[in-house]
């Protein structure tokens, strides 16, 4: 695979109005994706793309440039406005569009933004298509493609896009009633500020809503799924039976049980996969997870009669494996959960609804249901970096990793990788003894900070 110049593990991501997340790149992306995915001229309908965004201040700026790019290549833009990322994937399929583009940097701070592309099937583009897009954006190969007159694209607003998505979400749990349930909800001042509370209340829940006043700069700021301690506190303050916390574009979720304890993506995967195994609906009796997921997940699913298939980090790689094997449930420890029976990408609302369904059907509290997963101790460290040299070129780090592997004695693992969306290096050590793995993690993190830390 060619070295990426623009695309990371989840689209084009970075500081808004700085390369590569600039209006100029958004314009060229619009032209490139419109050219690459446009429908044939013989099609009954003109080529259309759905565009959605989160609540960042830079969203309208990039949206305008994107629309100009699409229009200039002869493609119509259908604007969904502020809406969760998974909703765009749903709308692409419902409206039979040629693709969709989301302007969001997910869990990143407000100063960042990103551009994520979906194909006509509602799935994120694969590596080969993204490489082709990069070539078209950078090379200028299509600069002379200039439709004129009636062949220039137009822009229009989608009618009631939020209610369309809400209806799709509710249809994933037919007949479920949440009457009598109190839910604490943190929408991270992001794109789910209307959809998630609307769906939960429509199903009968009493919802205590927090961080629901976006101002363009407060998305993810001290709230949302990257600050799980917040939803823990809110659950205890409100007396809720469950807490739900999204990131800025609501493609992920972190839950909290009634005791104030955080429930992560691995625990959600365990609960939903075991439930599906019992009902005979887990396709191939296989759950898809990444290498970051706790090894306890493998033991949990095996005990229930299934297996775990692991992929590289990133929900797109989980989805690719799910599609290749026709599997139904997959996700990440971070809270990206995919239920292919209902959606094509990580969806925080759909994931929360599946857990709520299990709670209501079983009559058991979340604190009980989560016990199905017995976790191995993990130590994780995220270090900001000023550069990203090959990790194998850092001798002190390599020596410390080798020493830690010896100490683990084959009963654990060490994962070290650069983030595909942020200037960070991520370290995970898993083993049987917390003191051993935390000591090793601190030593390796210190060496990383010394050599490449910012």
Residue found by looking up tokens 């990206």 in the block: 336
Q: Is the peptide bond before 20 cis (omega within 30 degrees of 0)?
A: yes
What pTM, to 2 d.p., does this model score? 0.90
Radius of gyration of the chain (CA): 22
pLDDT at 41: 66
Rounded distance, CA 71 to CA 65, Å? Answer: 10
The full length of the chain comes to 454
Q: Which of 145, 150, 169 is nearest to 32 (CA)?
A: 145
Q: Which of 319, 332, 330, 324 is nearest to 125 (CA)?
A: 319
What is the greatest pairwise CA distance in the chain? 70
CA angle (430, 431, 436) in 5-degree steps: 105
Q: Within the chain, which residue ranges are assigned CATH 3.40.120.10?
A: 7-161, 181-262, 265-372
Q: Which of 348, 327, 196 is nearest to 273 (CA)?
A: 327
Residue found by looking up tokens 């490139």 in the block: 32
Q: Which residues are catalytic?
A: 106
Q: Within the chain, which residue ranges are assigned CATH 3.30.310.50?
A: 378-452
Burial class (CB in 10 A: 0-12, 13-18, 19+), 128: exposed
- Sheet strand arrangement including 337-339: 307-311, 286-290, 329-331, 337-339
Helix (H), strand (E) at residue 310: strand 307-311
pLDDT at 46: 81
CATH number, domain 7-161 = 3.40.120.10
Identify the DSSP state of 21.
B
CATH number, domain 378-452 = 3.30.310.50
pLDDT at 454: 83
CATH number, domain 181-262 = 3.40.120.10
| Token pair of 390 as six digits | 């090959």
Rounded distance, CA 250 to CA 52, Å? Answer: 13
Mean pLDDT (10-residue bins), the chain, 454 residues = 76 96 98 89 79 98 98 97 98 96 96 97 93 94 95 97 98 97 98 98 98 98 97 98 98 98 97 98 97 92 98 91 98 96 97 98 98 93 93 93 90 88 90 92 95 91
| Helix pair 265-279, 296-303: axis angle to 10 deg | 10
- Sheet strand arrangement including 413-418: 378-384, 424-430, 413-418
Q: Which fold has domain 265-372?
A: Alpha-D-Glucose-1,6-Bisphosphate; Chain A, domain 3 (3.40.120)
pLDDT at 1: 47
Rounded distance, CA 303 to CA 52, Å? Answer: 42
What are the angstrom distances between the C-alpha of 193 and each of 82, 188, 209, 212, 246? 9, 8, 9, 5, 10
**What share of residues in the chain are helix, strand, coil (percent, to 5)?**
40, 20, 40
Alpha-carbon 179 to chain mean position: 29
């Amino acid at each position: 695979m060619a070295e990426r110049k623009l695309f990371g593990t989840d689209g084009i991501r970075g500081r808004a109005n700085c390369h590569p997340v600039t209006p100029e790149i958004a314009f060229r992306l619009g032209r490139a994706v419109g050219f690459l995915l446009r429908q044939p001229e013989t099609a009954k309908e003109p080529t259309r793309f759905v565009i959605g965004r989160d609540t960042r201040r830079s969203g309208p700026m990039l949206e305008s440039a994107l629309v100009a790019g699409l229009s200039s290549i002869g493609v119509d833009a259908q604007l969904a406005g502020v809406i969760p990322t998974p909703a765009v994937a749903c709308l692409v399929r419902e409206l039979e569009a040629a693709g969709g583009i989301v302007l969001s940097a997910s869990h990143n701070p407000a100063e960042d933004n990103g551009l994520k592309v979906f194909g006509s099937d509602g799935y994120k583009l694969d590596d080969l298509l993204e490489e082709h897009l990069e070539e078209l954006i950078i090379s200028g190969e299509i600069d002379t493609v200039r439709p004129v007159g009636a062949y220039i694209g137009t822009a229009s607003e989608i009618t009631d896009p939020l209610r369309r998505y809400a209806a799709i979400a509710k249809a994933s749990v037919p007949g479920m009633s949440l009457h009598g349930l109190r839910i604490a909800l943190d929408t991270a001042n992001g794109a789910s500020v209307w959809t998630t509370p609307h769906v939960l209340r429509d199903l009968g829940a009493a919802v205590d809503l927090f961080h629901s006043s976006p101002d363009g700069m407060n998305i993810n700021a001290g709230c949302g799924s990257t600050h799980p301690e917040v939803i823990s506190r809110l659950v205890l303050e409100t007396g809720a039976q469950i807490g739900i916390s999204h990131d800025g574009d609501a493609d992920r979720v972190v839950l909290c049980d009634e005791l104030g304890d955080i429930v992560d993506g691995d625990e959600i995967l365990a609960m939903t996969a075991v439930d599906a195994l019992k009902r005979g609906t887990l396709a191939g009796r296989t759950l898809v997870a990444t290498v970051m997921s706790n090894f306890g997940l493998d033991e949990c699913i095996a005990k229930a009669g299934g297996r775990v298939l692991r992929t590289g980090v990133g929900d797109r790689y989980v989805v690719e494996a799910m599609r290749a094997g026709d599997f139904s449930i997959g996700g990440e420890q971070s809270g990206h959960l995919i239920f292919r029976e209902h959606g094509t990408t990580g969806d925080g609302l759909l994931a929360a609804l599946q857990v709520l369904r299990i709670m209501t059907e079983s009559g058991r509290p979340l604190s009980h249901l989560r016990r199905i997963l017995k976790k191995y101790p993990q130590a994780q460290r995220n270090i900001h970096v000023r550069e990203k040299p090959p990790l194998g070129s850092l001798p002190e780090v390599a020596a410390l990793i080798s020493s830690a592997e010896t100490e683990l004695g084959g009963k654990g693992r060490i994962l070290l990788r650069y983030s595909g969306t942020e200037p960070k290096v991520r370290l995970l050590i898993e083993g049987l003894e917390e003191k051993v793995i935390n000591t090793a993690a601190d030593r390796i993190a210190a060496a990383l900070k010394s050599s490449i830390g910012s």
